[in-house]
Amino acid sequence: MSRSSAGGAKQRATGTRLIVPDAVVHDGLTPDGVTPAAVDARVAPRGSLENLSQAEIDKLLDTSHTGLYTLFRNCALAVLNSGSDSDNAKEIFERYRNFTVQILRHAWGIKLEITNAPAAAFVDGEMIRGIKEHLFAVLRDIIYTANEIIGAGRLDERDGASITNAVFNVLRNARVLDFKGRPNLAVCWGGHSINDSEYRYAKRVGYELGLRGLDVCTGCGPGAMKAPMKGAGVGHAKQRITQGRFIGITEPGIIAAEPPNAIVNQLVIMPDIEKRLEAFVRLAHAIIVFPGGVGTAEEILYLLGLLLDPANAAQPLPVVLTGPRASAAYFERIAHFIEGTLGAAAMTRLQVIIDDPPGVARALVQGLDQVRAFRRDRNDSYNFNWLLRVPYELQHPFEVTHASMRALQLRRGQPVHRLAADLRRAFSGIVTGNVKENGVAAIEQLGPYELAGDADIMRLLDELLTAFVAQRRMKLPGSVYRPCYRLVA
């Protein structure tokens, strides 16, 4: 029988369930032998969203295709499943297929009633405080996007300025832009399935950032997203910094595979991957790229699609690719692919530093002085880079289908920033086929996505993806990878 307590309250054992105030813990596995221990609970918000309108509640609980229930339920489950050993969204949703979430109205506000939630989200019958904050961040951002961005007609996906304003408004509503101070935010990208040496290295880099007073923003998940945050937290503690920012930015399609780690103290759910990426670069004062897989390659190509745009030639943005010495081959592969597809000039916007955490931190600090001077001289915001031009090709949501993947223009004879944009879409599609629920289902039904283009680009792409598979960068350690793509001439 599970053992649990809440505030020393008397417990009553009933069969295989233990009842505690506002929580019921289910023992062991369900009869199917698959689902782990689960909890039923009622959870109240902390400091926000004490009240919802009846219209908001109705839309959140609407299970039709126009309602928000499925989106809300899946994102809530992902948050509660933080620390999972699986990055397969379909597998996670199947494991907790009996999970539900309802909204209860009380005289003093609302509560969430959840059933069959992952037991790891609770300690002694109480939901872990950080997970509770993340849960209500999901609720906040889904409601705001549905009502104030999409529902209010403030988002026109055909207009780049409208998309940027939507990104700004979601971040402002989440209070991510409240910080008042000198530029100090390092955005860290990297894989969620890195090996132990790469994790320890990313943690050491984060420590050096924290010692220098830098805050960290990542994709919020495990691996190279968690490690620099964890290291920076120790660095902050040594410097007695108590208000450090650990910002996690995600989107509904990836949150199940990369649930928020425990260090994140500001979580934001963007509507889609393109707005997530734009949020990163608008917030960033510097960017670090750790080893990863196709998701990290997608981020690098997105960034190059920006930096190679002539309109951004003067933009100072320190970008460092770094890892331990054992991972040098990873960056050599990345550099070879970039130079072969986008040209040698593309690599001049990136700095590669191998096995030198203090050197990485010093390079960023030096670059931050240039960022501050550039923004100050042009009266641009420190918290949101309005002057950066994000080409529409990188803003418009890419709907990953077999047809859209086959239609990508992976060919020369076009501006390099546009080729970078389509290469980014190709990697985005592979991420979808690897870990997103809709992508996994499409691959099972129709087979691998097909990618076509110039023969030399296809060769370079094949070499890079083959290296990722050999280095086990496509899935979590211990998982067997089955390619979701096929390259054709």
pLDDT at position 65, please? 75
pTM over the 0.85 mark = yes
Q: Is residue 5 part of a domain?
A: no
The DSSP line for 257-271 is TSPPPTT-SEEEE-S
Domain extent at residue 43: 18-150
- CA neighbor of 266 nearest in space, from 193, 388, 173: 173
SS3 132: helix
Query: How many domains, the chain?
Result: 2
> Which of 253, 271, 258 has its CA nearest to residue 191?
258
Q: Cβ distance 190 to 291 under 8 Å?
A: yes
Q: What is the pLDDT of residue 50?
A: 59
Q: Is 405 part of any domain? A: yes
Confidence (pLDDT) at 56: 83
Task: Provide the pairing of β-strand 286-289 with 319-323.
Answer: parallel
Q: Does residue 108 belong to any structural domain of this protein?
A: yes
For residue 138, what is the domain's CATH number? 3.30.1850.10
- pLDDT at residue 341 in the model: 95
CATH code where residue 375 lies:
3.40.50.450
The candidate with the shortest Cα–Cα distance to 174, out of 199, 200, 192, 148, is 148
Q: Are residues 137 and 181 in the same domain?
A: no
**Statement to judge: residues 142 and 239 lie in one domain:** no
Copy the structure tokens of residue 373: 């001077």
User: What does the pLDDT read at residue 258?
Assistant: 84
- Which sign, positive or negative, has the C-alpha torsion 11, 16, 22, 23? positive
Give the per-residue pLDDT at 26.
59
- Tell me the H-state helices in 44-128: 54-60, 69-80, 89-95
Q: How much is the pLDDT for 22?
A: 57
Q: Which of 125, 150, 175 is the last residue of a domain?
A: 150
Report phi then psi at 73, rounded to 5: -60, -45
Q: What pLDDT score was predicted for residue 88?
A: 66
What is the pLDDT at residue 154? 86
Q: What is the mean pLDDT of each run of 10 residues along the chain (489 residues)?
A: 35 35 53 62 72 81 82 90 70 84 78 89 89 91 91 88 96 94 95 91 98 97 94 98 96 85 95 95 98 91 93 95 95 94 93 97 96 95 96 91 95 92 93 85 93 94 89 70 85
